[in-house]
């Protein structure tokens, strides 16, 4: 459990898969039953520096605020892309009205590394509502591909990134098949949100991560039941990596500086 509101499975990092550069972490919340309450559950204010969080909502509603002055609400189909940059505190909670009504919450959050030159960039918040995310309908009529970032089949995703990253949100109906073509120099992974598939001859089911690595230009996916999965593809960031909790930097010295800046209040504070 993350905070008191996110029942999380984390397939990465783990004992078998430490990272899939530029992707550092995958947290899958739910599907979880949120009971009606006047006091929204979630994660209390906490710091970040040196990377980005990408939150994709499948069910329910989430509220965000941070000490860079950004706030927002996202729901089914929406994506939030937050750049921690030089550092901030943020808070994530079940949205107020959703908390009052109760319901099912499901979301996937990714941690994405950024190049060394961008570690101390100004914090940024991109709220991408579902209608601005382009959809490619499959020719066989058995599914769709949403382009969140990068380019796929001449379709550009709306997210701005610091390095080349393609994130595809794929839905595939039973009996359908998908042939995906991705750049040979990208690291590529497939994360199963729900269902079961056969991918390049390998079986995968919900909440599993399939890693292809480099030279994964052609990915073939078939399924006998409805499935949803994310394609995570990006140019690897081949730089030193130093991590400690919510800080992702390039050296231990920078980690110490991050901890000192947080302790001294340089990442901001909430007034309430």
Give the model confidence (pLDDT) of 72-116 as tens digits. Answer: 999 999 999 999 999 999 999 999 999 999 999 999 999 999 999
Name the residue with higher pLDDT: 53 or 17: 53
CB 258 within 8 Å of CB 49: yes
- In the prediction, which pLDDT does 18 show? 86
d(CA 110, CA 35): 25
Does 28 carry a binding-site annotation?
no
d(CA 108, CA 63): 15
Average the pLDDT over 208-217 and give the result. 90
Expressed in angstroms, the distance from the first to the final Cα of the chain is 25
Confidence tier at 159 by pLDDT (50, 70, 90): very high
Q: What is the side-by-side strand order in the sheet with 135-137?
A: 135-137, 143-149, 165-172, 227-234, 187-194, 209-213
Does 235 carry a binding-site annotation?
no
Does 64 carry a binding-site annotation?
no
d(CA 78, CA 57): 6
- In the prediction, which pLDDT does 17 show? 84
- In the prediction, which pLDDT does 180 show? 95
pLDDT at 219 over 90: yes
pLDDT at 16 over 90: no
Confidence tier at 170 by pLDDT (50, 70, 90): very high
Owner of token pair 């009529």:
141
CB 134 within 8 Å of CB 155: yes
- In the prediction, which pLDDT does 215 show? 82
Say if domain 133-234 classifies as CATH 2.60.120.10.
yes
Owner of token pair 């390095």:
163
Average model confidence (pLDDT) across the chain: 96
Of 42, 74, 72, 71, nearest to 59 by C-alpha is 74
Say if domain 8-130+243-263 classifies as CATH 2.60.120.10.
yes
Average the pLDDT over 200-219 and give the result. 92
pLDDT at 217 over 90: no
Of 95, 108, 140, 119, nearest to 250 by C-alpha is 119
| Ranges of CATH 2.60.120.10 domains, the chain | 8-130+243-263, 133-234
- Rounded to two decimals, what is the model's pTM? 0.97
- In the prediction, which pLDDT does 109 show? 98
pLDDT at 252 over 90: yes
d(CA 26, CA 246): 14
The separation between CA 193 and the C-alpha centre of its own chain, rounded to angstroms, equals 12
């Amino acid at each position: 459990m993350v905070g008191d509101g996110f029942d999380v499975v984390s397939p990465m990092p783990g004992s078998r898969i430490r990272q899939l550069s530029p992707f550092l972490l995958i947290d899958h919340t739910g599907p979880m039953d949120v009971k009606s309450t006047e006091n929204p559950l979630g994660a209390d204010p906490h710091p970040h520096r040196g990377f980005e969080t990408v939150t994709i909502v499948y069910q329910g509603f989430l509220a965000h605020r941070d000490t860079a002055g950004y706030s927002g609400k996202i729901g089914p189909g929406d994506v939030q892309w937050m750049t921690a940059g030089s550092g901030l505190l943020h808070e994530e909670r079940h949205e107020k009205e959703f908390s009052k009504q109760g319901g099912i919450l499901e979301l996937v959050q990714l941690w994405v590394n950024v190049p060394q030159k961008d570690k101390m960039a100004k914090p940024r918040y991109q709220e991408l509502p579902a209608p601005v995310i382009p959809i490619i309908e499959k020719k066989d009529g058995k599914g769709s591909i949403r382009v969140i970032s990068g380019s796929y089949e001449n379709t550009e995703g709306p997210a701005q990134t610091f390095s080349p990253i393609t994130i595809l949100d794929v839905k595939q109906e039973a009996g359908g098949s998908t042939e995906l073509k991705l750049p040979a120099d990208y690291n590529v992974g497939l994360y199963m949100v729900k269902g079961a598939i056969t991918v390049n001859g390998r079986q995968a089911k919900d909440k599993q991560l399939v890693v292809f690595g480099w030279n994964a230009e052609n990915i073939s996916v078939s399924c006998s039941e409805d499935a949803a999965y994310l394609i995570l593809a990006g140019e690897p960031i081949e730089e030193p990596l130093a991590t400690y909790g919510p800080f992702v930097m390039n050296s231990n010295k920078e980690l110490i500086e991050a901890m000192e800046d947080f302790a001294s209040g340089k990442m901001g504070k909430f007034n309430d």
